[in-house]
Amino acid sequence: MRFLLIALVLFYSHNIVAQQDPVPPKKQPVTSKGDVMLRQNDSIGKGAVINRRDDDDSKSFRYGNKDSVSVQDYKIISYQRDTVYLDTTLTINKEYLYNYIRRDEFELMPFANMGQQYNELGRQFSTTSYYPRMGAKAKHYGYAEKEDIRYYNVPTPMTELMFKTTMEQGQFLDALLTFNTSKRFNASVAYTGFRSLGKYRYEQAQDAKFRTSFNYASANGRYAIRGHIAAQDLEDEESGGLANRSQFEDDLPDFQDRAKIDLLYTNADSRILGKRYFLDHGFKLVKRQKDSTNVEQTSLAISHEFSYETKIYQFTQSSVPPTAPFGNDPFLVPIEDKARLKTMFNKGSLEFYNKTLGRLTGNVGLYNYNYYFNSILVTDAGTIPNQLKGEEISVGGSYVNTIGPLLLKGNVNYTVVGDLTGNNFDALTKYKINENNTIIGSIHLSSRMPDFNYLLFQSDYRNFNWQNDGSFDKMRTKNISFGLDSKKYGLLEAEYTALDNYTFFRSTATQEQIDAGQETAFVSPFQESSTINHLRVKYTKEFKWRKWALMNTVLYQDVTQETQVLNLPELITRNSLYFSSDVFKKAMFIQTGVTFKYFTAYHMDAYNPLLGEFYIQNNEELGGYPLIDFFINAKVRQTRIYLKAEHLNSIFSEPNYYSAPNYPYRDFVIRFGLVWNFFS
């Protein structure tokens, strides 16, 4: 609650620290700048241009014709230091991003309630984290990792508000304020508040996420620092899915109200709590003056990155349900499973940059981890410790250079002390053939242990206790990918991966136990000894004719494996047919259309709420049904308004749509919301 109060105070007081007076703008058009073409509606205010005096550190801004500031002067910087400009346009891609995780859900299958887990329809192995994660992967889609935090460089204060209705009795609000106090210091404050009761009982989801970031550069450009603080709390009620599938599939009038459908449990909850402190700073030991083109010639710099994070995954259940989905004889009741992970990471780097030779960096990293439970478990089968604790020391380097139309990137890390990680190697090349065509190629090699919950887990339920850090081997990934980005022919991406020691969860329940509804009681981790080969080809292309457009995305996947442990649909397709036009004398821009999504039937992964993980099942195939959405979106100045009728075809189709075995996908629902940027 205190984070929410702080955020509200900052939002309402941002005009006090604003760098300009709220003078009504003159009616002047904003022209395009760089590669991004701006509509007049994308200006700051309506048709506003802002005059900046570069010799004033307080950044006093005035309206006028000279040194105008446009939307693209508001820069967003990623963890990898890639920079993009604020985009207030309304496109079909913005429609795809307007969701709970604010990422394209093309390769994901949402559950019935907003804010719950996603089942994976597509898999990519071209990037993997160097260090193992905590686990409970299915519960982390709404969790902001350090790579997800953004930093800002803005000429005036900017606020972004995203609002969206949820499934039942709740709303979603994601609010951001970014500002600066001088030319060299920028900061941001963001808060996400979310609650959705859901159409089914005992599936309430709610989040509270506070993030604040800052970045600073000294006047002479030698020293720079950035950092962030993130505090996150994600909570879900866990229903276990349908107790009687016929209540859903028989489509009886009594159960059209989904709140009347019986679910497996009524007293289970999962929760993720996380706090993180991050700092990254550097100093240039040698800095040659810029040339006539204002490009730095040579520099030598040292830098240091620090992060400290604590995280808790918790599953609680006040009593054991009669069906005993996790076992009949727990150690303790009520169930209070709690896994904790504390990590601290330090990395020191030395970087040499030359305009001709490129950017070469060497680094040394120290990673301390402590993954633990409250007590040691002693059973007749043996003793399971309560802790995995240690440190990893790694060395590495990276290289980046642009030679004419050719971009080269490389990164390598090797662990010299520690058992969790081995090595990784990434290489990327991008060649710009001409203004319309670019080819991309990359290689990824990595070796590391599985996530912590595969290696050690303890639960009040007897079946969910194991230790595998001494028996599991490092997972090894070999990946090669190719891409062709053509304005005329579209974007084609191909990727081939060979996986060794692939680690997964699987149930060992017998058919009799499955029929008794106890499949989830026998889920445990396994490793596949044989190599798994995964091929994916993805094609994206938009066709336009006058005010009409057809956006197409198709993904083909093929998996070659001795044992069926990596289950994915062979084909996923999404097609959006829509109409765009200015209306009301160009005071509003609208887009309206229909999106069709389909994936072939396959052995869809099942969900285990105690672990917060999906596990392999080969008993039934699900999928092979369409998902049709109708949308009407509009843009007025910097406000984008969204209205969508989701899963429209469920009104007249058979109720055979599932997000996972025993978990129905959402029914037809109408939802609306907006994204609003405003500037001071």
The answer, yes or no, to whether residue 68 has pLDDT greater than 90, is no
Q: Tens digits of per-residue pLDDT, 540-580?
A: 999 999 999 999 999 999 999 999 999 999 999 999 999 99
Give the number of C-alpha atoms closer than 13 A to the C-alpha of residue 653, restricted to the C-beta side: 15
Three-state DSSP class for 306? strand
Q: Tens digits of per-residue pLDDT, 582-618?
A: 999 999 999 999 999 999 999 999 999 999 999 999 9
Cα distance between residue 560 and residue 357, in whole Å = 42
Cα distance between residue 12 and residue 616, in whole Å = 49
Query: What's the token pair of residue 188?
Result: 């941001």
Contact between residue 636 and residue 658 where contact means Cβ atoms under 8 Å apart: no
pLDDT classification of 47: cutoffs 50, 70, 90 = very low
Contact between residue 224 and residue 281 where contact means Cβ atoms under 8 Å apart: yes
Cα distance between residue 88 and residue 84, in whole Å = 12
Please provide the size of the chain in residues: 680
Give the per-residue pLDDT at 67: 54
DSSP assignment of 446-512, as one string?
Answer: EEE---HHHHEE--SSTTS-EE-TTTPPPEEEEEEEEEEEETTTEEEEEEEEEEESEEEEEE---HH
pLDDT classification of 275: cutoffs 50, 70, 90 = very high
Give the per-residue pLDDT at 53: 34
**Distance from the first to the final alpha carbon of the chain:** 27
Query: Residues 472-496: what's their mean pLDDT?
Result: 97
Query: Residues 77-84: what's their mean pLDDT?
Result: 94
Q: Domain span at residue 88?
A: 2-679
Give the per-residue pLDDT at 167: 92
Rounded percentage of the chain residues whose pLDDT exceeds 70: 89
Give the per-residue pLDDT at 291: 60
Burial state string for 605-644 with b = 16 or more CB within 10 A and e = fewer than 16: bbbbbbbbbbbbbeeeebbebebbbebebbbbbbbbbbbb
Mean pLDDT of the chain: 89
Give CA torsion, residues 631, 635, 636, 639, to 10 deg: 100
pLDDT classification of 324: cutoffs 50, 70, 90 = confident
Instruction: Give residues with Cβ within 8 angstroms of 211, minimum separation 6.
Output: 144, 149, 188, 189, 190, 191, 228, 229, 230, 231
Give the per-residue pLDDT at 4: 43
DSSP-assigned beta bridge partners for residue 223:
283
The DSSP code for 650 is G
- Nearest Cα to Cα of residue 132 among 387, 413, 371, 394: 371
Displacement of CA 334 from its chain's centroid (Å): 33
Three-state DSSP class for 614? strand
Cα distance between residue 448 and residue 420, in whole Å = 6
Domain count along the chain: 1
Contact between residue 415 and residue 394 where contact means Cβ atoms under 8 Å apart: yes
The DSSP code for 126 is S
Would you tell me how many other CB atoms lie within 10 Å of the CB of residue 202?
A: 17
Cα distance between residue 243 and residue 516, in whole Å = 11
Instruction: Give residues with Cβ within 8 angstroms of 94, minimum separation 6.
Output: 633, 640, 675
Query: Residues 189-198: what's their mean pLDDT?
Result: 96
Q: Tens digits of per-residue pLDDT, 290-316?
A: 665 566 788 999 999 999 999 999 999
pTM: 0.88
Angle at 205 between CA 664 and CA 229, to 5 degrees: 135
Instruction: Give residues with Cβ within 8 angstroms of 497, minimum separation 6.
Output: 125, 126, 477, 478, 479, 533, 534, 535
Q: CATH code at 405?
A: 2.40.170.20
The answer, yes or no, to whether residue 492 has pLDDT greater than 80, is yes
Query: Residues 443-460: what's their mean pLDDT?
Result: 97
